[in-house]
Structure 1
Amino acid sequence: METKDYEHGTVPKSERKHWISIAAVWIAIGIDLSGAFLGVELAAGMDFWPAIGATLVGSVLLGLLAMACAYVGAATGLTTAMVSRAVFGKIGGAVLALAMSISLIGWFAVQAGFFGSNAQVAMLELTGIDWPVAVFTVLGGILMLLTALWGYRSISRLSTLAVPLLLILLIVGIVVAFATRGSEALTADTAAVYSFGGAVSLVMGIFVLGVVSAPDMARWAKTPKQAMAAGFFGFLFGNSIIIIVAVILSKLLNETELMTMFFVLGLGGFAVIVLILAQWTTNTTNAYSAAISFSSISKRFSRRTLTIIGGVIGIIVAVLGAADWFINFISAIGIVIAPFGGVYIANFFANRKHTRFEHHSDVPRITVLPVIAWLLGIATALMTTQTSDGLGFGLFSLTLIPALDGLLVAFVAALAFEVFVRRRAQRAVSIDGIEI
Structure 2
Amino acid sequence: MSASVESSGEFAAEEYEHEPVPPTARRSLLAVSAVWAGFPMCLGNAVFGGLIVYNQGMIRGFWAILLGNLLLFGYVGTLSWIAGESGRNFPLQAEAAFGRRGRAVVVGFLATVVIGWFSYQIGLTGTTLQSVFGWNPLWGGLLGALIYIAITALGIRALSVIGMIGTPLFLVMAGVALYFGLDRNGQSLSHVFSYPAAGHTLGFWACVGIVVAGFADSGTMTADFTRWARDGRSGVVAAASAFPVANTVAFLIGGLVVAIGGADDPASNGGAFLGLLTGHGALLTGLAVLFVLANLGSVAAHCLYNAAVGWSGLTPLRMRALALLLGAVGTFVALTGIWSHIVNWLELLGVIVPPIGAVLIIGQLLSERTKPLVVAGVAPIAFAAWAIGALAAAIAHYHLPGSVDAVVGFGAAALTYAGLALTRGTWPAASVEPPVEISAA
8 A Cα contact 2:119 2:334, kept in partner = yes
1:80 is the counterpart of 2:108: no
TM-score by length of 2: 0.84
In structure 2, the CA distance between the partners of 1:32 and 1:363, relative to structure 1 (3 Å rule), is: farther
How many residues are aligned here?
Answer: 405
Residue 304 of structure 1 corresponds to: 320
1:220 is the counterpart of 2:228: yes
For residue 95 of structure 1, give the secondary structure of its aligned residue in structure 2. Answer: helix
In structure 2, the CA distance between the partners of 1:352 and 1:249, relative to structure 1 (3 Å rule), is: farther
Equivalent of 1:138 in 138, 142, 157: 142
1:260 is the counterpart of 2:275: yes
Matching of residues 8-407 of structure 1 within 5 Å:
8-124=18-134, 130-131=135-136, 133-181=137-185, 182=187, 187-251=195-259, 252-255=261-264, 256=269, 257-263=272-278, 267-299=284-316, 301-325=317-341, 328-351=344-367, 365-385=377-397, 393-395=398-400, 400-407=403-410
Q: Which moved more, 1:404-413 or 1:45-54?
A: 45-54
8 A Cα contact 1:22 1:218, kept in partner = yes
- Give CA-to-partner distance per residue, 1:199-228, whole Å, 9 cap, x none: 111111111222111111111111111111
Gaps of 5+ in 1: 125-129, 357-361, 386-392, 427-436
In structure 2, the CA distance between the partners of 1:72 and 1:205, relative to structure 1 (3 Å rule), is: same
| C-alpha displacement of 1:171 | 3.1
8 A Cα contact 1:149 1:307, kept in partner = yes
CA distance in 2, matches of 1:195, 1:210: 25
CA distance in 2, matches of 1:37, 1:324: 16
| C-alpha displacement of 1:425 | 5.9
CA distance in 2, matches of 1:141, 1:280: 8
CA distance in 1, matches of 2:68, 2:280: 29
CA distance in 2, matches of 1:96, 1:324: 25
Residue 410 of structure 1 corresponds to: 413
Gaps of 5+ in 2: 1-8, 430-441
CA distance in 1, matches of 2:159, 2:211: 24
- Give CA-to-partner distance per residue, 1:254-276, whole Å, 9 cap, x none: 32343213226875443332232
- Give CA-to-partner distance per residue, 1:310-333, whole Å, 9 cap, x none: 112211222243553465344211
Amino acid at match of 2:327: G
Residue 434 of structure 1 corresponds to: none
8 A Cα contact 1:208 1:334, kept in partner = yes
CA distance in 2, matches of 1:325, 1:61: 28
RMSD: 2.6
Residue 439 of structure 2 corresponds to: none
TM-score by length of 1: 0.85
8 A Cα contact 2:370 2:426, kept in partner = no
In structure 2, the CA distance between the partners of 1:289 and 1:279, relative to structure 1 (3 Å rule), is: same
CA distance in 2, matches of 1:55, 1:264: 31
Residue 424 of structure 2 corresponds to: 421
Identity of aligned residues (%): 21
